[in-house]
Structure 1
Amino acid sequence: MAKLHLIKLSVGTETIESLRQWQAGKQTQTADGLPRHVTRMWPKRADELLDGGSIFWVFQGMVQCRQRLLRFDEVIGQDGIRRCAFVLDPAIIPTTNALKRPFQGWRYLQPADAPADLPAHRQTEDELPASLSAALADIGVL
């Protein structure tokens, strides 16, 4: 089991499918073709995150999926500022929906607080509308 995870708002994408499409773009990939997310801050607890950790993505106020963290690459922007690229496993794993209030940047997420993966037989289901998913999660059904 992972020692630690990350949680992040998926800014610019509103569904798992739109995240998948965004990550398919060359500008969001490493030289070896893996998806990445570039951020200003470098995690101080990188070793714990790379010991099986994932980044959990929040869409429209709900955690809906995760991707395993593979490594952290240094990226120097055109402005000369050092940034961190979270290099991700291309497999996007749907999770049970969990409500999450808005927050800035990324946060550490303890494994005990992470939503469970959806069972394999449910991973091919169509996504529910965000408002319905939020309402069901709010009353504890999802």
Structure 2
Amino acid sequence: MGLNLIKLCVGCDSIDDLAEWIDYRVAEAKRAGRPPEHHHVTRMVPKRIDDLLAGGSLYWVIKGTVQVRQRLTDIQPFRDAEGIGRCRLMLEPKLVATEWQPRRPFQGWRYLEAKDAPADLKQGKGQSLPPELAAELAELGVR
């Protein structure tokens, strides 16, 4: 992975919350007869689309720490009903837990170089600490 995006996951308190939201959205699309795809709509369209689609992911910041990522499958610019330019970040529904990395709040999304992205958690190596303690350790750079 060379280039990724990072974004705040507003409204989610945990990876489980995000997983439930994704499941809900995919099921809702199926019920409506749409393809069961997962996407996130954003206002700004990335200019480095080819770099992002060459294996990039969207890293989610939950409660002040990067905790999880989703692989980007497509980026679809479009105009909404009011004529405002927007962008669908098409995402693989599978969530990949990452090492926790503290992040200060920011607006929109940002590019995230692979060298700066947190590593994926290894299979079986879950987040065994309470979320508050894990976040504090991540903030201190211990975990």
Per the normalisation by structure 2, the TM-score is: 0.88
- Equivalent residue for 1:71, pick from 56, 71, 74: 74
RMSD: 2.0
| Residue type of the alignment partner of 1:92 | L
| Alpha-carbon distance between aligned partners in 2 of 1:29 and 1:112, rounded to the nearest angstrom | 35
Q: Say how many residue pairs are matched.
A: 139
Question: Unaligned 5+ residue runs, structure 1?
Answer: none
Aligned residue in 1 for 2:58? 55
CA drift of 1:119 comes to 0.6
Aligned residue in 2 for 1:91? 94
- The sequence identity of aligned pairs, in percent, is 45
Mean CA deviation greater in 7-16 or 70-79: 70-79
Query: C-alpha deviations, 1:78-115, integer Å up to 9, x for none?
Result: 32222100000111000000000100000000000000
CA drift of 1:75 comes to 3.6
The 1:115/1:29 distance shift into structure 2, 3 A limit, reads: farther
| Alpha-carbon distance between aligned partners in 2 of 1:112 and 1:41, rounded to the nearest angstrom | 24
Aligned residue in 2 for 1:7? 6
| Alpha-carbon distance between aligned partners in 1 of 2:129 and 2:37, rounded to the nearest angstrom | 25
Contact kept? 1:23, 1:29, Cα under 8 Å? no
| Alpha-carbon distance between aligned partners in 2 of 1:112 and 1:34, rounded to the nearest angstrom | 29
| Alpha-carbon distance between aligned partners in 2 of 1:97 and 1:6, rounded to the nearest angstrom | 16
Query: C-alpha deviations, 1:33-85, integer Å up to 9, x for none?
Result: 12100001110001000000000000110000000000012343232222100
| Alpha-carbon distance between aligned partners in 1 of 2:130 and 2:108, rounded to the nearest angstrom | 26
Aligned residue in 2 for 1:114? 117
The 1:105/1:59 distance shift into structure 2, 3 A limit, reads: same
Question: Unaligned 5+ residue runs, structure 2?
Answer: none
**SS of structure 1 residue aligned to 2:133:** helix
Contact kept? 1:36, 1:87, Cα under 8 Å? yes
The 4+ residue runs of structure 1 with deviation greater than 4 A are 27-30
1:135 aligns with 2:136: yes
| Residue type of the alignment partner of 1:134 | A
| Alpha-carbon distance between aligned partners in 1 of 2:142 and 2:99, rounded to the nearest angstrom | 10
Per the normalisation by structure 1, the TM-score is: 0.88
The 1:37/1:116 distance shift into structure 2, 3 A limit, reads: same
Mean CA deviation greater in 73-82 or 56-65: 73-82
